[in-house]
Amino acid sequence: MDPISAYKMMVSSGAGGLPANPVQDAVARAIPPAELDKLNPPITLSAPDSAQPAYSFQNLLGNFVQDVNDKQAAAGDAVNGLLSGKNVSLHQAMISMEEASVSFQLMVEVRNKLLDSYQELMRMQI
């Protein structure tokens, strides 16, 4: 359960029989439930017109790799803009490079976990 859902439950149920807390009451008055719904919108998965649903594992991994590729390209563009004297700040170039690096490291770790899982499945006795 995420913190916003827990807070919604606490506010709507009157703290679930817990003793009154002036801080919780002040927070409940400060953040109306409609605002909490804006912070934590429901996730809906919808399938496009194609045969592959939008929430398939294949599409999830494909989108993940595409995002990493886009970040790598953006980092390359920022560095090239910095080197060619365009209006790109050093800070922005470094941020985009680090973002690309972290996303690539995450992708490699996800790949390693998937490969380990596959190898574990192949070792299983049937």
22 and 61, same domain (yes or no): no
CA distances from 37 to 5, 9, 13, 40 (A): 9, 12, 16, 5
Token pair of 19, please? 């003793």
**Which long-range CB contacts under 8 A does 86-89 form with residues at least 24 apart?**
none
Sign of the C-alpha dihedral computed for residues 95, 98, 104 and 109 taken in this order: negative
Domain of residue 97 covers 57-123
For residue 7, name the pLDDT band (cuts at 50, 70, 90).
low
Say how many domains are in the chain: 2
For residues 11 and 66, membership in a common domain is answered with no
Q: What is the pLDDT of residues 26-77, one digit of tens each?
A: 555 666 666 656 655 555 555 555 565 667 888 989 999 999 999 999 999 9
